[in-house]
């Protein structure tokens, strides 16, 4: 039947729970302007730092414990899919956020997939995910190269430690927990306006952590957010526009601009004035303009540094993902062969054994 067909559409590898992996996976699906950030805390400051949050993904060690909470029938606005392939749960958790956030630009492929599966029941949605060549190919592209691990050992290891991903998203004014192993979504109550849902979801996640914390410490919480670079670039444009207007007014009245040291002193000794439009800039005194310019200059420098940090972070993600995918076994084998041919391998092995013996004492 259909379930058997889903099982036959296997070949989904386990992928690492990592924000760089998930962010690049989302990009390769054609989705634009979305990143994933690891969270170390549920406080408001941590949430505000990563930007507008579309949804949360929680990873925990699955133990098959009973959960009597009632599920609900998904409404027309809720994308909920049953999990049909064990190793696909990471990608499915990501989809649960992407497909339930109308403001996300899904791209051509994922928009078509969402439209195609819109009226499917959860089990058929799960089958559609399992049988999607695009989803499987992108998902599997992040599998680590482990040529020396046998399938039996790999299967045994995965059976010993089974990890599961679930999603938390606000949809149509309600907050949902989406777990593909459940019969349907679990409604956690009203989501509230804007990002108020983050306050509502905190107790639910904390309760889940406390449920396992006595015997399990391996958890991972990630936020699916708007791309921080886009937000920072938009902020930079606003700052630069006001700064350029202010520079023009200062030059018109004073003839020259203060030195960087003078601007730093002004910013340190005067509070930042509120942001203004073009008309308000005309109404300011020269001293007020200089103070505003000092703070705008400081803000522009900070945003530029933040943008550079984000670019470096994304660049590092790309490097790490390349290393993840690369098979180093041929290089290692050839390197050992060269050492053996030179007669250097034996002494190095003996040296390593000696170090190990001394370290064990």
Annotate 66-98 with DSSP letters as a single string.
---PPP----TT-------SGGGHHHHHHHHHH
Planar angle of CA 224, 229, 234, nearest 5 degrees? 115
Please tell me the distance from the alpha carbon of residue 230 to that of residue 235, in angstroms, as a whole number: 9
How many beta carbons lie within 10 A of that of residue 235, not counting itself?
Answer: 16
Tokens (6 digits) for 51 = 């930007």
The secondary structure of 17-39, three-state, reads: CCHHHHHHHHHHCCCECEEEEEE
Choose the catalytic residue: 37, 164, 187, 295: 164
Please tell me the distance from the alpha carbon of residue 223 to that of residue 51, in angstroms, as a whole number: 9
Choose the catalytic residue: 89, 101, 187, 295: 89
Q: Decide: 319 and 279 in contact? Cβ < 8 Å.
A: no
Nearest Cα neighbor of 176 from 56, 288, 10 is 56
Please tell me the distance from the alpha carbon of residue 138 to that of residue 154, in angstroms, as a whole number: 21
Please tell me the distance from the alpha carbon of residue 288 to that of residue 285, in angstroms, as a whole number: 5
Q: Is 89 one of the catalytic residues? A: yes
The catalytic residue positions are: 89, 164
């Amino acid at each position: 039947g259909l379930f058997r067909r889903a099982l036959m559409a296997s070949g989904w590898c386990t992928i690492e729970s990592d924000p760089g992996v998930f962010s690049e996976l989302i990009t390769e699906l054609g989705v634009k302007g979305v990143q994933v950030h690891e969270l170390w805390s549920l406080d408001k400051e941590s949430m505000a730092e990563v930007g507008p949050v579309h949804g949360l993904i929680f990873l925990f060690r699955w133990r098959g414990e009973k959960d009597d909470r009632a599920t609900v029938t998904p409404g027309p606005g809720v994308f909920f899919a049953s999990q049909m392939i064990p190793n696909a749960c990471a990608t499915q958790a990501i989809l649960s956020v992407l497909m339930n956030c109308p403001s996300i630009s899904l791209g051509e492929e994922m928009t078509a997939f969402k439209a195609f599966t819109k009226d499917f029941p959860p089990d058929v949605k799960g089958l559609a995910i399992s049988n999607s060549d695009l989803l499987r190919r992108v998902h599997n592209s992040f599998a680590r190269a482990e040529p020396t691990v046998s399938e039996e050992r790999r299967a045994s290891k995965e059976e010993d430690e089974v990890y599961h991903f679930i999603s938390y998203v606000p949809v149509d004014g309600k907050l949902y927990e989406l777990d593909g192993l459940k019969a349907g979504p679990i409604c956690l109550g009203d989501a509230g306006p804007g990002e108020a849902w983050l306050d509502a979801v905190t107790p639910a996640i904390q309760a889940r952590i406390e449920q396992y914390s006595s015997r399990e410490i391996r958890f991972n919480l990630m936020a699916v957010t708007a791309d921080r670079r886009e937000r920072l670039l938009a902020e930079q444009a606003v700052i630069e526009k006001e700064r350029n207007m202010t520079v023009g007014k200062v030059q018109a009245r004073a003839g020259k601009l203060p030195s960087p040291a003078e601007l730093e002193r002004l910013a340190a000794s005067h509070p930042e004035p509120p942001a203004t439009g073009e008309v308000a800039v005309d109404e300011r005194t020269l001293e007020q303009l200089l103070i505003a310019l000092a703070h705008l200059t400081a803000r522009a420098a900070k945003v530029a540094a933040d943008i550079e940090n984000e670019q470096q972070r994304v660049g590092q993600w790309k490097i790490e993902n390349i290393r993840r995918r690369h098979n180093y076994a041929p290089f290692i084998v050839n390197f050992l062969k060269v050492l053996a041919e030179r007669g250097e391998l034996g002494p190095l092995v003996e040296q390593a054994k000696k170090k190990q013996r001394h370290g064990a004492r």
